[in-house]
Structure 1
């Protein structure tokens, strides 16, 4: 399986698409000024204790208070609190984590009021990003993730990923890490560390310890609530988590982000640095790689997948419901049971893809087409479990109920991806009346004239629907050349699959959209 990463860098956000054999399987959008990402560490302040929930609400600077449960404090919370107090008490000299007094683990059945008080400051880490009306979910058991290892301060335990099947390799890695790590630092060895040399693991361990020391230094300088360790950008984070030898290319349309990713890949896999490619084509990068069309077809309420069969995906406050329909498909084999199995197996492929693509979380209820034979029901369950092995999110799959419903729980750490695939009319704004479409190019020509001769803007891009772009470029003496001779050669016509048929946008040389729409005039 060949994997590709396509990164679309815009002024306001970065969109990251993961392709497997040219099929879109993951889509992530990250605001350029995004805060409160999973993995960020803050100095927070306890605002309220909730004994009934055995939890506390903590202020980390977000609009809503964050939630911290007693079970998420971590066993070494008292030792961590003591080190935090020393860090706050002496802002000139950094205390040693090794020399800090060690306390016994907090009891698993303890209460929040035994260890926290209102107004207390502490280290907390974002475990779940703000979702809907809820603030972030926090953990006080800090961890700093790398590609091969996860560093856990105030712990001495070394754990190895259960996905490494070889008992001999698991023992090798555990003994190796125990020999190179410092006391009072725990380590989780990730799956990708299998068969790695000691030099690679030691180098990453040093980097993670250095990041921890930098966060301690920031804590000393912090006055009140403040971030002290920010997770690396989501582009780098995704590459860190999913990078494997099957990656054949990473395409990025921004020089700065491209250089950042190239430096990181050169650090973790020097032999793969040449797969990083700067995209400088004329078409939008997602249009060029066929991603825009896939997004439009995969994010609607109804998703077709095979010979007329389709899914209906609905979201509620606490769960997602997926209904499998055979549609109007026809087949020579009229055996209803076999047809149901075939549709269900194909639906399972698309459902697992949709869960990764939309990052669905919580409880997912899937209403498959009813099957009578128990071996077919077991075959479908085994198929779903096998497909879910490639899912990085924690999950649990339950067998089909007697009503043909399968339940899946899937870890949710950030809001589900939502893309509105319905296009509102850019010319009538919902009134149902527009100017004659044959006059559309005359409207564009008037805008060009105003932009060039009145605003004196010479360098810009006109984005239009691909059909309109084809019309402008068609003919021996096309509109394109007519406009170039009249308004200069500084502008470009770029087709964009994201646009509606009569939608357009003027983009200046700095990448900003120029507001030349006729909303008021059109509404009259």
Structure 2
């Protein structure tokens, strides 16, 4: 995890096996975070939509659907009425008398009225023209458990696979569960003892106490409880024994992250948190900037030469898989399967990296082999296993299309990867020049394999030629040591900075696209 802090924002990059898989940004001025608890006022009740629009202080009224009220919403309403009316003198629910549950098929106007005040929690951040989405099922998450007031249920994460451990945690949590509070046991609780879990129950109950105290005097719209900041939230949700390094460039954030890791994983694990001290920006020093440039944009290229085209429409995202012009001609079925398999893993990374939600339709290259089609679905599901967003992957349709639905919680991450063209002085746009040497090396590698004895000439702008020849060893020398062939570099002042061409010994252009 690489954490970059400026005065106005904190950016967090998550890297797995050297590849960027998630990027998060939180501005200091952000009003809303998923998990924040608000006291809001119902502005309008819509019977046809079976939903209410609630004012929680955002420029757009928040959306609260009947299905998000939760079965115990009447108990929550009674709690708030008792707190605001000074009838309930404690946040403890031991003596609290629960109200009957609402039915699943009920109507919103049977539960909420216009101008009514309600306690809600942000379920989804504002996206596009929509306001935040709300829920009345309040959850207070911790590292090992999540508590849910007005509930009696104890549930254990399905990712804890052994039945003995599940039973142990069920019995343990049931013995420490506060009255009228449900508990969800998270995967991180596996192997933890009663002391760890009891300590976290006390911590989460203190947060419930905060809601109680704030609700006494709050006037809608007002925030009752803030979710932790993005950095701490990600550490809470993601930190496992697999983490090898957390690098931070801010002293205060470093101390905070180090203390958090020490508290939840022990003092010996706190050493994985490091303070960045180099002169380069932290994202540049760890290659994050370059990966961002290469990972966003309409087209995402892969080392083999294949690429995927990602486009957004109002209804869905569409992704087209292309092999490029470098696919070997022999054994076409295997070659197509290999390209589809490579692109499936990249698509899973792109969905997570860009946080693409809603309906996604992928047009893979057609495969006739039923076994290959079946394996491709399994590969996609495996590639998306680490994705925390809820998702469903459907088998390939008879037209070779794969449909995926993925939970949309926050706005899609969209980073511009174009820059002003130095040739036309900004009247057009080209792919980011930071990727030019990657493109040259990729094409050079293909030419060296496909034409092992041909003489080779690379024609580029003088700026690029100087870059390729500078240093000891230069990039040109590295190519020689790798391929045992010396590609001649020719300067051409008429070439755009972002263009390059390969020629053979007869000065015939080698076209790869």
Q: Same fold (TM over 0.5)?
A: yes
2:436 equivalent in structure 1: none
Quick one: which of 260, 279, 295 aligns to 1:282? 279
- 1:324 is the counterpart of 2:321: yes
1:192 equivalent in structure 2: 188
2:97 equivalent in structure 1: 101
1:438 equivalent in structure 2: none
Task: Answer yes or no: is the 8 Å Cα contact 1:365–1:407 preserved in 2.
Answer: yes
1:275 Cα shift?
1.0
TM-score for the superposition, normalised by structure 1: 0.80
Output the CA distance in 2 between the equivalents of 1:375 and 1:92: 63
Task: Answer yes or no: is the 8 Å Cα contact 1:287–1:293 preserved in 2.
Answer: yes
Output the CA distance in 1 between the equivalents of 2:427 and 2:316: 35
- 1:356 is the counterpart of 2:349: no
Output the CA distance in 1 between the equivalents of 2:277 and 2:54: 46
Output the CA distance in 2 between the equivalents of 1:112 and 1:133: 23
Deviations 1:80-103 (A, max 9, x none): 111100111119944542222211
- SS of 2:170's equivalent in the other structure is helix
Task: Answer yes or no: is the 8 Å Cα contact 1:39–1:230 preserved in 2.
Answer: yes
1:184 Cα shift?
0.6
Quick one: which of 377, 380, 383 aligns to 1:384? 380
- SS of 1:408's equivalent in the other structure is strand
Quick one: which of 54, 57, 60 aligns to 1:61? 57
1:171 Cα shift?
1.1
2:33 equivalent in structure 1: 37
- 1:158 is the counterpart of 2:154: yes
- SS of 1:49's equivalent in the other structure is strand
Deviations 1:295-329 (A, max 9, x none): 10110111111321101000112311110000011
Output the CA distance in 1 between the equivalents of 2:232 and 2:199: 18
1:131-150 matched pairs, under 5 angstroms: 131-150=127-146
Compare 249-258 and 418-427 and name the one that shifted more: 418-427
- 1:127 is the counterpart of 2:123: yes
2:248 equivalent in structure 1: 252
Task: Answer yes or no: is the 8 Å Cα contact 1:83–1:97 preserved in 2.
Answer: no
1:70-85 matched pairs, under 5 angstroms: 70-85=66-81
TM-score for the superposition, normalised by structure 2: 0.81
- 1:22 is the counterpart of 2:18: yes
Aligned residues: 434
1:272 Cα shift?
1.1
- SS of 1:248's equivalent in the other structure is coil
Deviations 1:114-173 (A, max 9, x none): 111111111100000000000001000000111110110111110111111111111111
Output the CA distance in 2 between the equivalents of 1:51 and 1:84: 24
Output the CA distance in 2 between the equivalents of 1:405 and 1:183: 50
1:313 equivalent in structure 2: 310
Deviations 1:346-401 (A, max 9, x none): 00110111111111111111100000011110010111111111111110000001
- SS of 2:192's equivalent in the other structure is coil
Quick one: which of 8, 12, 15 aligns to 2:4? 8
Output the CA distance in 1 between the equivalents of 2:412 and 2:94: 41
Task: Answer yes or no: is the 8 Å Cα contact 1:306–1:346 preserved in 2.
Answer: no
- 1:236 is the counterpart of 2:236: no
Task: Answer yes or no: is the 8 Å Cα contact 2:42–2:116 preserved in 1.
Answer: yes
- SS of 1:286's equivalent in the other structure is helix
* 5+ long unaligned stretches in structure 2: 429-462, 472-496, 498-513
Structure 2 CA distance for partners of 1:221 and 1:266, relative to 1, 3 Å:
farther
- 1:291 is the counterpart of 2:283: no
Structure 2 CA distance for partners of 1:206 and 1:95, relative to 1, 3 Å:
closer
